[in-house]
Amino acid sequence: MTTHPYSSEVLQLAADIPRIGRLPAPHASARKVSRLCGSSLDLDLCVEDGRISDLALELEACALGQAAASVLARDGVGATPAEIRAAREALKAMLKEGRSFPEGRFAALAALAPAKDYPARHGSVMLAFDAACAALDALEANA
């Protein structure tokens, strides 16, 4: 039986996305587009002392993509690059393999578990964390 992915928790996250916009002087930026649904996200971030010190994003995505971006925007400042990458891998495993999302900084992503039954939406759900990882990769490559 498939569960509906647009729970009240997902819709609440999607309706309240902090850090919308662009940073004036980001340390790194990334743009990601979901080929399947056309959702897109631009992300800017700054890293200081080994942690995300600021981030901002602009997105055009369904409520699922908006909800995942909201979690990153709410809980990403203060995270280490390793925490961002681990959250991305856990989110992917939750969508692809039905694993539960672990507790911790990004535990709110568990609200997106029903999206596993909607593969056409996986790209949108992954946008924010894919973009964050791409920006971190670019920052490390230029260091």
CATH number of the 8-141 domain: 3.90.1010.10
Question: Is the predicted pLDDT of residue 2 greater than 70, yes or no?
Answer: no
Q: Which of 11-20, 55-64, 93-102 has the lowest mean pLDDT?
A: 93-102
What DSSP line would sit under 21-74, residue for residue?
A: S--SS-SEEEEEE-TTT--EEEEEEEEETTEEEEEEEEEE--HHHHHHHHHHHH
pLDDT at 1: 47
pLDDT in tens, 34-56: 988 889 999 999 999 999 999 99
Q: Is the pTM of this model over 0.85?
A: yes
